[in-house]
Amino acid sequence: MGYVDVAAVGHILPDGRELFSDVSFRVGEGAKVALVGPNGAGKTTLLRMVAGDLPVKTGAVARTGGLGVMRQFIGMIGDESTLADLALSLAPPALRAAGHRLAETEAAMREAEVRGKYSTAAGKAQLAYADALAAWGEVGGYDAEVLFDTVATIVLDLPWETARDRPVRTLSGGQQKRFALELLLRGPDEVLLLDEPDNFLDVPGKRWLEGRLRESAKSVLYVSHDRELLARTADRVVAVEGGSAWVHPGGFASWHEARVARHARLDELRRRWDEEHQKLRELMLMYKQKAAYNDGMASRYQAAQTRLRKFEEAGPPPVPPKDQDIRMRLTGGRTGKRAIVCDQLELDGLTYPFDLEIWYGDRVAVLGANGTGKSHFLRLLARGGTDPDPANGPVDAGLTLAPVAHDGTARLGARVRPGHFSQTHDRPELMEKTLVEILWRGDEHRAGMDRHAAMAALSRYELAGQGDQRFGTLSGGQQARFLVLLLELSGATLLLLDEPTDNLDLASAEALEAGLNAFEGTVLAVTHDRWFTRTFDRFVLFRGDGEVVETPEPVWDVA
C-alpha cells in the first residue's frame, strides 16, 4: 500500500511572495484526505508538489507506491489529442514512455512503407517498431489495453479499438472526467492525487464517485468544493488557509465546527500572548528606570531585557485567517418581458424539438446528465440565438464560440445582451495578460479603466494580490472569480453560466449567489451543484432520451 508524508513544506511564488509555509500532514494507507481552503491558498500547488510537478525547495515530501494524478483540466493536453493520448497521460511513467515510443515507431514505419515497402529505411523502421512493441509488452502494455477497453466500454459503450483515436474534445467534460477516474481507480497506482475530480460530473456521476472513493483501498489526496461529496468521502481534512495548513482528524461534517473552535482558541492564545508581552515590556521598562539611578538593578534590567527578547523571538501564535469578503456587483438592466423564446428548437443529435419561454428576471437552472446538450444550448444563446439581433449589442464580450448545429429558432428579447461563463475557462486571449492589463486596456466591448479603478474592482473579488499576475497562472477558482468580474463589467443583462460554482470555494459561491440575487436581469445556469440549484425558481431538464421539459422541482436521476 502507498502513503504520502508532507513535512514542513513551503512555497514561494515567482514574484517573491510566500504562498504557504510549514505545511505538514500525512495521507496514510487507504486514507481519503481532502484539501480544502480558499481559492488561491495553494491547494493545487500542494498537489503539484506531491506529484513532483513542482520542486520542493523548503521541507520534504515522501511517498511510496505508484502515483496516479488527475489534474484540474484533464482534457486540455492538446487540441488534437485523442483518447489514447489521454489514457497514456494518466498511465505510470514507464508505461507512458513505452506508449509514446510505440506510437512514434508505428507512425515512422507506416511512413517508410509508403515511400518503399522493401527499402532499407522500411526495414529499420519495422525493427524499431518490433523493439517498441516488445518494450510495450514488458512494461504491462497489453494489460493496460485490457483496462483501456474496459473503461471505454463502461464510459462510452465503445470498444477501445474504436474509441482510441477519438478526439478528446468530442467528449463532454463529464465523460472526460469519468474516463480518467475509471482508469485511475481501476489502475495499479496505490496513491491518487485528484484535483477537483467532481467537476463536470452530473449528480449521478458524483454519487458514483462518492461510492467508488469509499470502497477503494487506494490512498487518495483530493481537492473538492462539493460539500456533499466531502461529507460522504473524507476521513480527514487538511485546511490550507492563512499561509499554512492545519489538520482536522475527523470528517468534513465536523470540520466547520472544528474550524470555529480553532479560531476561537487562536484568538484566546493571541490575547494571552499580547497580555504577557505587555507585562514583560512594562517590567523591562521599570527595571530600566530603576537601573538609571541604582546600579544594583542593572542585572535585573539585563535579565528582563533577555527575557523579553527571547519571548519576542519565539513569536506570537498564529492569528486566525481573515474570512474572505467578496462583493460581486452584477447589475444587469431592464430588458423586454420575454428574454428568450425557443420555437421548435432542436439541437442536432442531442434533443428533440422543444418550445421554451423565459421571462425577464427568471432564475432558471438547466439540469440533466452529461452529454444531453445543455452547454450547447447556452452557447447557442451566447451567440445571440439562431438569428442574432445587432441592436442587442455584442453577444459574447470577447469570447469566440463555435457554431451550434440546430433546427428551429431561439430568439433573444429586446435589449437582451448575453454574457457567457464557460465551464472550462477557455479564454486563450487572456492567458498571457495580467489582470490589471486586461482591465486597463478593455476591449471592443468594454471600456478600460485606470489602475486605481482596476485594483478597486479586483479587491472586491479578493484578487488585488493577483493584479499583476497572468490570468493563465491563477488557480481555477481565481480564474472563475475574474471571469465573473468581466461579466459584471460587460453590462450583460442575460447571464449564461455553465457550471459557475465548479471551482469556487464556499465563500466565493455564496458571494455569487448574493450577486445573482441582486442582479437585475435573467439568469440561466447549467449546474450539477445540488446546493446551488436550490436557489433557482425554474428548472429545465434535458433528458437522456432527447426530450427537454420543465419540472417543478430539481430532478437528478433521469436517464
CA atoms within 13 A on the CB side of 177: 22
What is the reported pLDDT for 275?
Answer: 94
Q: Which secondary structure element, helix H or strand E, spans residue 354, and what is its range? A: strand 354-359
Q: Please, are residues 541 and 551 in contact by the beta-carbon 8 Å criterion?
A: yes
Apex 173 CA angle, 167 and 176, nearest 5: 55
What is the reported pLDDT for 182?
Answer: 94
Name the one residue in this structure whose C-alpha cell is 427568471. 362
Q: Which secondary structure element, helix H or strand E, spans residue 451, and what is its range? A: helix 451-460
What is the reported pLDDT for 21?
Answer: 92
Domain ranges in the chain? 1-66+189-250, 82-188, 257-314, 338-551
Please name the amino acid found at residue 224. S
The helix/strand/coil state of 529 is coil
What is the reported pLDDT for 77?
Answer: 45
CA-wise closest residue to 362 among 550, 553, 494, 531: 494
The helix/strand/coil state of 123 is helix
CA separation, residue 387 to residues 382, 383, 399 (Å): 12, 9, 18
* Helix %, strand %, coil % of the chain (to 5): 45, 20, 35
Query: Which DSSP state fits 520?
Result: B
What is the reported pLDDT for 446?
Answer: 54
- Rounded to 10°, the helix 93-115/141-156 angle is 90
Give burial (CB, 10 Å; 0-12/13-18/19+) of 288. Answer: middle
What is the reported pLDDT for 397?
Answer: 43
pTM of this prediction exceeds 0.85: no
CA-wise closest residue to 179 among 155, 143, 153, 213: 155
For the chain, 559 residues long, the average pLDDT of each consecutive 10-residue run is 92 88 94 89 91 92 92 63 90 89 86 69 82 90 92 92 89 85 93 90 89 95 89 93 91 89 90 93 91 86 92 85 75 88 93 95 92 90 81 51 84 91 80 88 60 87 88 85 89 91 82 88 91 91 93 80
Look up residue 144 and give its three cell numbers: 493496460
How many helices (H) does the chain have, and how many strands (E)?
17, 18
Give the largest Cα separation in the chain, rounded.
107
CA–CA gap between residue 529 and residue 131 (Å, rounded): 49
Q: Which residues contact 235 (CB under 8 A, 6 or more apart)?
A: 31, 32, 33, 251
Look up residue 97 and give its three cell numbers: 514512455
CATH 3.30.750.80 for domain 1-66+189-250, yes or no, is no
Q: Which residues contact 536 (CB under 8 A, 6 or more apart)?
A: 363, 364, 365, 523, 525
Q: Which residues contact 386 (CB under 8 A, 6 or more apart)?
A: 345, 380, 406, 408, 409, 410, 411
The order of strands in the sheet holding 18-27 is 18-27, 3-12, 58-64
The helix/strand/coil state of 452 is helix
Which CATH homologous superfamily contains domain 338-551? P-loop containing nucleotide triphosphate hydrolases (3.40.50.300)
